[in-house]
Amino acid sequence: MAVDDECKLKFLELKAKRNYRFIVFKINNQQVVVDKLGGPDETYEDFTAALPVDECRYAVFDFDFTTSENCQKSKIFFIAWAPDASRVRSKMVYASSKDRFKRELDGIQVELQATDPSEMSFDIIKSRAI
């Protein structure tokens, strides 16, 4: 499974320059490519709306939060999205290439696997960040 250079470039921009709030990736012709980019002012709701209900995706989300000591922090989440409605073959391809793709993105702090929106609710994201 190849990884398009744009995936790494956009991830570096998210991590270093904070140009994006999220990036959604898809596998197309045996290659991981950028599917959607979310601007820095987009919300978590915009992010979840960008994930298709019947197709697998990889996604990266830059989550900003305030600690109990009132410090501004951010964590980069990697989410493997494999909804129940997606095809079995697609789930297998995404599952088997996930670790290799994740290694290409240096700086992932939290990983989540989700098969429906309730498994990646805002509360879950928040609890995993702190």
Range of the domain at 29: 2-129
Helices (H), 3-121: 5-12, 44-49, 88-104
pLDDT value, residue 130:
82
Contacts of 64 by beta carbon, 8 Å cutoff, 6+ apart? 72, 73, 74
| Residue 1: predicted pLDDT | 85
Local confidence pLDDT in tens for the 130 residues of the chain: 899 999 999 999 999 999 999 999 999 999 999 999 999 999 999 999 999 999 999 999 999 999 889 999 999 999 999 999 999 999 999 999 999 999 999 999 999 999 999 999 999 999 999 8
- Count of domains in the chain? 1
Whether this model's pTM surpasses 0.85 = yes
Q: What is the CATH number of the domain that holds 77?
A: 3.40.20.10
Residue type, 126: K
Best CA proximity match to 77, nearest among 24, 32, 7, 29? 24
Closest by CA position to 98, among listed 45, 50, 60: 60
